Amino acid sequence: MSSQSGGYYLPEPSHWPIIGSIGLFLMAFGAVLTINTVSGGGYVLLAGALVMVYMLFGWFGTVIRESESGKYNKQVDLSFRWSMGWFIFSEVMFFGAFFGALFYMRVLSIPWLAEGDTGSLLWSGFSAAWPTAGPGVASKFTPMGAWGLPAINTALLLTSGVTLTIAHWALLKGQRTKLNVFMFLTIALGVTFLALQAEEYMHAYTELDLTLESGAYGATFYMLTGFHGFHVTIGTIMLIVIWLRGIRGHFKPETHFGFEGVAWYWHFVDVVWLGLFILVYWL
Amino acid sequence: MEAAHDHNHDHHEPTGIMRYVTTTNHKDIGSMYLWFSFMMFLVGGVMALVIRAELFQPGLQVVEPEFFNQMTTLHGLIMVFGAIMPAFVGFANWQIPMMIGAPDMAFPRMNNWSFWLLPPAGILLMGSLLAPGGAGGVGWTMYAPLTIQQGMGMDMMIFAIHILGMSSIMGSINIITTILNMRAPGMTMMKMPLFVWTWLITAYLLVASMPVLAGAVTMTLTDRHFGTHFFNAAGGGDPVLYQHIFWFFGHPEVYIIAIPAFGVISEVIPTFSRKPLFGYASMVYATGSIAILSFLVWAHHMYTVGMPVEAQLYYMFATMLIAIPTGVKVFNWVATMWKGSMSFETPMLFAQGFLFLFTIGGFTGIVLAVTPIDIQLHDTYYVVAHFHYVMVAGALFAAFAGVYYWLPKWIGKMYDERLGKIHFWLSLTFFNVTFFVQHFLGLAGMPRRIPDYALQFADWNMVSSIGAFGFGLSQVFFLYVLLKAIRSGEKAPEMPWEGATTLEWTHLPTPAPYHSFETPPDLRS
């Protein structure tokens, strides 16, 4: 450790953070205006998003160039590992809030609504069977079954975990063609997953009458699967970046944390899906 | 060689404001955090004075009730997220690399972003006052269903919380990585200064709890605008669900504020007692225990929502358990001073103030943990008094102690000891004039967050308001003490405190150079 510490890479002053702050501010302010139907809000939101994209390209580009020019030693690599692990932990806690809400509604608040004075006086006749849109929402939706598209999606994501691992093995053994092919397969599986998810949402909205406004079930279904889908989208973009970098000849068998970090993230998204499949779709 | 050359000459460092906008230096970023937090402290303080001005006499004199509600809300949010938390992140930035023998934070650019996310969030928070309908008048806890019925200002606050959360998570990941991976050889975990330990644990709490708050306010947002029913019983949701999610974040948040304060106190008391910290290992384990327990007690904020009696009993006893590790800490601080060669410079005075008053806040916490008592005292001024003893006399006094303690190292100049002591005595006196009497008001049944009150509360409210204005002026005086030290303070000696033993005092010159520890000190042997 001592020999490494002296050479820890410390970057020069950078303008990317402040650009990111401006982008996020515009996005937040634009989103406030948009959801309150103030005209022009959409443009502010879009401008903010473009600034953010510019920042992400620039900042990650800088990091990739620094990495490829060999400025990062083993200690920097370990820093990246710690930070990615803790970042994923924070994501787990974010999903935990929504899984917690699902648990609370199914196990506690909905049964409470059907019992005692609430059940007999306020909403008599409400039975606490899950899935439900709650006692006061007039929504006759059909719940999403587990064994159609969701089961196929489970298979797709689990397979993508396997193809990604094969790609990683190929990278470790220096088999670059195999790496690129299996990265492509992983991305294809991810994109197919997203397409099927979109198809499922269309089906739910048009044929099942299942919307975001369908009470407890609709809210938890769309927020959990929606945030998961958003994370799959980000993960897919990350995979594409890694795939293109692999084609360009980036990564060495011994140093490729960019690849591993994305792989960790992808597996995390995979595990969240398994939780979703069991707790949202199946049970 | 190439790298060293690169570092010193190739790139001229930006100057003026751009130096601070683009900086990747932990000291610059630490200073920005500290100044930002002090500005926010004054802003939040003015809001507190609006509240106290209205409560000076019964009846409505100064502000409209709606505006009063916005003031209580923004005062809480700004003091928690804008003043206290950034202050301790400022300390972390300045001190952690120096205390563990690192060249800088692990991710200097992300460090910059963590800071520069605060101003946009601050603009959104403050700007919400200008939105149609004003800021959300919902209290800093932002309970549903009131939040669902607010105007556009509420959305600005929600996004401000999101940005603050991003800032905290990135800052915390940076701190954890720095502590785990950047220690000098020989700086083992159990040799780290306690301030570093407390920040490691705090950062863990932040990474675990801030995303949960993000989830809570996201549900609020979708309930407001996208037709979800998370907090609406008609749809099978529950307003109490919001409280559960919020306090799952909110209780660890209390320790996010308190634990770095414990860290500062654990550096100051040994120095001015000229003795090593008593029970170092037990301090570390006690802090860890508090962190774990903090996730298991959240519903003690919600005794009155009608939860099952089994749950009330669990939360009551689990909450009281926290008194054990906290007691270990207070015992250790007192034992550190026992037979020590003590002197009472300003940092030590603030540490003593902390010790007395934080302990009072801890005791009122145990009182409030008792379910039947809490049902009586819930949402009264007793609660207000309790958490201000923890937040102001606890966290803020520790921050003052830290500023006075490390200022010579930071700027190479001494503050005026006489003025520092005056600042302490003014703060101590006016703090108690403001908040001690609020215990009486709460016990007598005065509800919090209401702009008017029954006549029998008039006397103590007047006393409290006088104390609040005195406390506010004392902090303007603190600004004067600071500026005087920066502009014309005496040159600090290399070692202004003879009892200090941490690396920033023993291994670095005073003031600390811009780049500390480009090669890490070897602490083995």
Name every residue whose Cβ is closer than 8 Å to that of residue A147 and which is 6 or more positions away in sequence: none
B273 counts as catalytic:
no
Using the predicted structure, report yes or no on whether residue A199 has a pLDDT greater than 90. Answer: yes
Q: Give the residue among A151, A123, A104, A91 at the shortest CA–CA distance from B307.
A: A104
Q: Give the residue among A139, A134, A120 at the shortest CA–CA distance from A204.
A: A139
B12 counts as catalytic:
no
Are A94 and B211 a contacting pair at CB < 8 A? yes
The confidence band for A6, taking pLDDT boundaries of 50, 70 and 90, is: low
Which of A62, A83, A213 to mutate: most B Cβ within 10 Å? A83
What residues form DSSP beta bridges with B491? B413
pLDDT tens for each residue of B24-37: 999 999 999 999 99
Taking the C-alpha atoms of residue B220 and residue B237, their distance in angstroms, rounded to an integer, is: 12
Taking the C-alpha atoms of residue A114 and residue A179, their distance in angstroms, rounded to an integer, is: 56
Res A237: pLDDT: 97
Taking the C-alpha atoms of residue B517 and residue A44, their distance in angstroms, rounded to an integer, is: 44
What residues form DSSP beta bridges with B380? B447
Q: Which residues of A touch B244 (CB under 8 A)?
A: 100, 104
Residue among B229, B244, B421, B448 flagged as catalytic: B448
Res A117: pLDDT: 85
Using the predicted structure, report yes or no on whether residue B9 has a pLDDT greater than 60. Answer: no
Res A11: pLDDT: 92
Q: What is the ipTM of this complex?
A: 0.95
Q: Which residues of A touch B162 (CB under 8 A)?
A: 28
> Can the peptide bond before residue B145 be classed as cis, meaning omega within 30 degrees of 0?
yes
Res A127: pLDDT: 86
Specify the higher pLDDT residue, B262 or B13. Answer: B262
Q: Which residues of B touch A20 (CB under 8 A)?
A: 113, 116-117
B223 counts as catalytic:
no
Specify the higher pLDDT residue, B67 or A139. Answer: B67
Taking the C-alpha atoms of residue B420 and residue B352, their distance in angstroms, rounded to an integer, is: 14
Using the predicted structure, report yes or no on whether residue B496 has a pLDDT greater than 50. Answer: yes
* Residue A146 Cα, gap to closest chain B Cα (Å): 22
Are A13 and B23 a contacting pair at CB < 8 A? yes
Give me the mean pLDDT over the A151-165 stretch: 97
Helix-helix angle B118-127:B152-181, to 10 degrees: 160
* Residue B408 Cα, gap to closest chain A Cα (Å): 26
Taking the C-alpha atoms of residue B199 and residue B164, their distance in angstroms, rounded to an integer, is: 18
Using the predicted structure, report yes or no on whether residue B362 has a pLDDT greater than 60. Answer: yes
B427 counts as catalytic:
no
Q: How many percent of chain B have pLDDT more than 70?
A: 98
- The nearest alpha carbon in chain A to B150 belongs to A36
Using the predicted structure, report yes or no on whether residue B6 has a pLDDT greater than 60. Answer: no
Give me the mean pLDDT over the A147-174 stretch: 96
The confidence band for B8, taking pLDDT boundaries of 50, 70 and 90, is: very low
Res A137: pLDDT: 86
pLDDT tens for each residue of B11-22: 567 888 899 999
Give me the mean pLDDT over the A24-41 stretch: 96
B464 counts as catalytic:
no
B448 counts as catalytic:
yes
Q: Look up residue B243 and give its two tokens.
A: 């409280």
Res A120: pLDDT: 86
Res B519: pLDDT: 86
Are B520 and A2 a contacting pair at CB < 8 A? yes
Q: Which residues of A touch B130 (CB under 8 A)?
A: none
Taking the C-alpha atoms of residue B41 and residue A25, their distance in angstroms, rounded to an integer, is: 22
Using the predicted structure, report yes or no on whether residue A104 has a pLDDT greater than 50. Answer: yes
DSSP 8-state secondary structure symbol assigned to residue A59: H
Least confident of A22-26, A68-72, B30-34, B324-328: A68-72
Using the predicted structure, report yes or no on whether residue B5 has a pLDDT greater than 50. Answer: no
Taking the C-alpha atoms of residue B248 and residue A94, their distance in angstroms, rounded to an integer, is: 12
Give me the mean pLDDT over the A12-36 stretch: 97
Classify B413 as helix, strand or coil. strand
Stated as kind and residue range, the H or E segment containing A253 is none
Taking the C-alpha atoms of residue A14 and residue A63, their distance in angstroms, rounded to an integer, is: 12
pLDDT tens for each residue of B171-214: 999 999 999 999 999 999 999 999 999 999 999 999 999 999 99
Are A10 and B248 a contacting pair at CB < 8 A? no
Give me the mean pLDDT over the B370-386 stretch: 96
Taking the C-alpha atoms of residue B184 and residue B165, their distance in angstroms, rounded to an integer, is: 30
Taking the C-alpha atoms of residue B24 and residue B128, their distance in angstroms, rounded to an integer, is: 31
Q: Look up residue A164 and give its two tokens.
A: 């990604």
The confidence band for A5, taking pLDDT boundaries of 50, 70 and 90, is: very low
pLDDT tens for each residue of A111-137: 999 988 888 888 888 888 889 999 988
Taking the complete model, does pTM exceed 0.90, yes or no?
Answer: yes
Taking the C-alpha atoms of residue B144 and residue B23, their distance in angstroms, rounded to an integer, is: 40
pLDDT tens for each residue of B411-464: 999 999 999 999 999 999 999 999 999 999 999 999 999 999 999 999 999 999
Taking the C-alpha atoms of residue A207 and residue A191, their distance in angstroms, rounded to an integer, is: 24
Using the predicted structure, report yes or no on whether residue B525 has a pLDDT greater than 80. Answer: no
Burial environment of residue A46 by CB neighbours within 10 A (0 to 12, 13 to 18, 19 or more): middle
Q: Look up residue B72 and give its two tokens.
A: 């209580």
Among A residues 130-169, those touching chain B with beta carbons less than 8 Å apart: 132-137
Give start and end residues of each alpha helix (H) in chain A.
2-5, 16-35, 41-68, 74-103, 110-113, 116-117, 149-173, 176-206, 215-247, 257-276
Residue among B23, B167, B178, B427 flagged as catalytic: B167
B266 counts as catalytic:
yes
Name every residue whose Cβ is closer than 8 Å to that of residue B376 and which is 6 or more positions away in sequence: none
What mean pLDDT value characterizes chain B?
A: 95
Tell me the backbone φ, ψ of residue B221, rounded to 5 degrees.
-60, -45
Res B12: pLDDT: 62
Q: Give the residue among B129, B196, B195, B209 at the shortest CA–CA distance from B164.
A: B209
Res B11: pLDDT: 53
Taking the C-alpha atoms of residue B229 and residue B231, their distance in angstroms, rounded to an integer, is: 6
Res B338: pLDDT: 96
Q: Which of A10, A91, A109 sits opposite B104 (nearest CB)?
A: A10
Give start and end residues of each alpha helix (H) in B226-321.
239-273, 280-294, 309-321
Residue among B72, B202, B266, B516 flagged as catalytic: B266
Res B10: pLDDT: 47
Taking the C-alpha atoms of residue A213 and residue B234, their distance in angstroms, rounded to an integer, is: 11
B204 counts as catalytic:
no
- The nearest alpha carbon in chain A to B163 belongs to A24
Q: Does A82 touch chain B (CB under 8 A)?
A: yes
Q: Does A21 touch chain B (CB under 8 A)?
A: yes
